[in-house]
Structure 1
Amino acid sequence: MLLLAALLSLFSSHANASSQLTEQQINHLRMSLYKKVEAITQIPWYVLAACDQYERNVRKIKNDIPKQKGVIGIYIPPDKWAGTANPNLNDQNPVSIQLFGGIGMDGNGDGKAQMDHDEDVLYSFAHFLSKYGNDIENLKIGLWSYYHRDKTVGIILGHMKLFKHFGHLQLNEHAFPLPVRTDYSYRDTWGDARGWGGRRIHEGTDIFAHYGVPVRSTCYGIVEMKGWNRYGGWRIGIRDIQNTYHYFAHLNGFAKDIHVGQIVKPGQIIGSVGSSGYGPPGTSGKFPPHLHYGMYKDNGKTEWSFDPYPHLKLWERLEWQKEKK
């Protein structure tokens, strides 16, 4: 408790205190706040962690909302915080905020409802959800009422599942998609032209390898999609806690018992290299065997592809370093 108090004091006294703390210390602060608010509102800590994780990811890539200052990333817009009819959108009085229908509340007992204070924000958000209930079905309703976007709710539910399963917040590890001691080759092919099925660009990196080489999950995540696509053949999509969607295509087959909704870990085998695709289900052999690996980012409104090559090179290098130890 003394360590927690010291960390909270450091963070509250410096705007950029996060740069002075390790990731482990910051996650310790976050977990302490989640558990404290859980005890008051009965909203499970992993629900709060999932929403906070989702919004931190969004705030990193969006320019139309303020950048995060504290350890909590949940952003409540001023009109939602103070109430749309409130003439003072910077109102910190819990009584007048409630009078105008705002959701801002005093979470730390100082008599103020401050929308830039971690405890106030987390408590206010949890209290909003608690009005719908704390079981999963009612939480889905509460999340949709807050975000008004099915995909956002789906991503948060995935984050919830991961945090609940592993019981901690350190889920940022990654792995190269093929075993580094196998025979493979790749270069940066993102943006190259593709012609089959209509003119388009290549949204990923092709990693050429022999048939049957194991394909591994690159992250902690949830299997969002599995099946056939006429372009990608047999393919799997996995969502991680950074709101990033990892796409594995042209597989020869899937690992046994892999299914939609499954939790996976970095390095876990999910399938094998093949040459499936470019036609109806079962089409194969129209190109050399390889893994098409793509990455897509969700920003709360839309999703777009980005070049996975730099990430692949980093993960490959880190794995070789582990191999040499």
Structure 2
Amino acid sequence: MMILLGDFSTFLFISKVNSILEMGENMKHRLLIPLLLFVIVSIPNLIVDAEDSNHEARLKMYKDYELASGVPWYEIAAIDQYERNTYKFKEGSDKLKYDTISIFITNERWSGPENPYYYDNDSYTINLFGGIGKDGNGDGVADINNEEDVMYTMVEYIRSFDTFKEALNSYYQQDQAVKIIEEIAQLFKHFDTIVLDKRCLPVSKRYSYSFQDNYGTARSWGGARSHEGIDIFANYSTPVLATAYGVVEIMGWNDYGGYRIGIRDIYNTYQYYAHLQGYEGDLKEGDIVEPGQVIGYVGSTGYGKEGTSGKFPPHLHFGLYKYDGRCEWAFNPYPHLRRWEKEEQ
């Protein structure tokens, strides 16, 4: 798409560039990026058409900021996606509504922990009190309610560290959050898109299988506990399929689940596949999988030391867990399995 600027806009832009070029190197660096973002992000001709999906608008924004800052788009996108997954669990996040992004920065972090002005939007005093808020659209105001300022602030925060992981560790200070964001970035980079919504059943409909809603029923082996999943009964060696695009977080033996696989998708959802007879090929932790990919085979392993099998009929235990930014909790896979089953008809 061509960038068409009116005569006054062109004059204003050229004047700003000439003024900046006359400044010192440090000042040039600080001001050229916001100006470039102004051209890339704010010019009306570059706004995504109304009929375009929010996915397209988001991806365009990420890539515009990559062009202006040098931070890879999939790293920016991964932070925004993680925030999208967790913002509703954060106190005060409901007060901030942006058109495109979901990044939530607390007022304390934005303005500075000792800043007497809780809703400060002055870059000088924000910086003076150790806040991170910045003016991203060049209007002279560091506005926490403006998504361009928020996105620019986050991108500049990332740029202030030597590595992406260092930035995440400093900002989130939670190993689980850092790991999940890195995995989301890995998925976005690998598939070169943020549209990774396809889902499928964990067993192929070409094979015989059955399942009922037995989520939450009592289990006694290893102590009284609740059944955190759905049992899908099928014959030995029935292929087990990845239900989503994801990263293999864990593989190996678990005394309860036997040979199992844990996979995380871009929505902070952890898919747990247990009682497997074995794994597919050379699948390993850290690998990327996609919906319908064979990852293992139905078995009856578990309830004992490694190699224990046959204590119950062959079936796949399938569980779903959500990480909300503070803790991980199980939820019932049954309605999702039924929906995926229906979608495959």
TM-score, normalised by the number of residues in structure 1: 0.89
**1:238 CA displacement:** 0.2
Q: Which runs of 4+ in 1 moved over 4 A?
A: 1-4, 6-10
Whether 2:284 is the aligned partner of 1:259: answer yes
Map of 1:239-318 to 2, 5 A cutoff? 239-318=264-343
Classify the secondary structure of the residue corresponding to 2:125.
helix
Q: Look up the match of 1:217.
A: 242
Given candidates 35, 57, 60, the residue that maps to 1:32 is 60
Conserved? CA contact 1:59–1:65, under 8 Å: no
RMSD of aligned Cα (Å): 1.8
Conserved? CA contact 2:257–2:302, under 8 Å: yes
Please, which moves more after superposition, 51-60 or 67-76? 67-76
Whether 2:231 is the aligned partner of 1:202: answer no
**1:142 CA displacement:** 1.1
Please, which moves more after superposition, 177-186 or 219-228? 177-186
Paired with 1:52 and 1:8, the residues of 2 have a C-alpha distance of 19
Report which of the two structures shows the higher radius of gyration computed on alpha carbons: 2
Quickly say closer, same or farther: Cα 1:288–1:148, change in 2 above 3 A.
Answer: same
Aligned residue type for 1:265: E
Given candidates 45, 66, 74, the residue that maps to 2:73 is 45
Q: Look up the match of 1:160.
A: 185
Given candidates 134, 149, 158, the residue that maps to 2:174 is 149
Whether 2:137 is the aligned partner of 1:128: answer no
Conserved? CA contact 1:249–1:292, under 8 Å: yes
Paired with 2:72 and 2:290, the residues of 1 have a C-alpha distance of 23
Paired with 2:241 and 2:121, the residues of 1 have a C-alpha distance of 50
Whether 2:93 is the aligned partner of 1:66: answer yes
C-alpha offsets along residues 254-299 of structure 1, whole Å, 9 cap, x if unaligned?
0001110000000100001100000011100000000000000001
Q: Look up the match of 1:15.
A: none
Classify the secondary structure of the residue corresponding to 2:210.
strand
Conserved? CA contact 1:48–1:126, under 8 Å: yes
Conserved? CA contact 1:184–1:209, under 8 Å: yes
Paired with 1:96 and 1:216, the residues of 2 have a C-alpha distance of 54
Conserved? CA contact 2:261–2:274, under 8 Å: yes
Q: Look up the match of 2:144.
A: 115
Paired with 1:38 and 1:312, the residues of 2 have a C-alpha distance of 38
Paired with 1:34 and 1:211, the residues of 2 have a C-alpha distance of 46
Conserved? CA contact 2:270–2:321, under 8 Å: yes
Quickly say closer, same or farther: Cα 1:9–1:168, change in 2 above 3 A.
Answer: closer
Q: Look up the match of 2:255.
A: 230
Classify the secondary structure of the residue corresponding to 2:93.
coil
Unaligned residue ranges in structure 2 (runs of 5+): 4-40
Conserved? CA contact 2:48–2:57, under 8 Å: no
Map of 1:83-94 to 2, 5 A cutoff? 83-94=112-123
Paired with 1:257 and 1:280, the residues of 2 have a C-alpha distance of 23
Report how many residues are paired.
304
TM-score, normalised by the number of residues in structure 2: 0.84
Aligned residue type for 1:250: H
Classify the secondary structure of the residue corresponding to 2:167.
helix
Paired with 1:99 and 1:33, the residues of 2 have a C-alpha distance of 30
Classify the secondary structure of the residue corresponding to 2:55.
helix
Q: Look up the match of 1:18.
A: none
Classify the secondary structure of the residue corresponding to 1:79.
helix
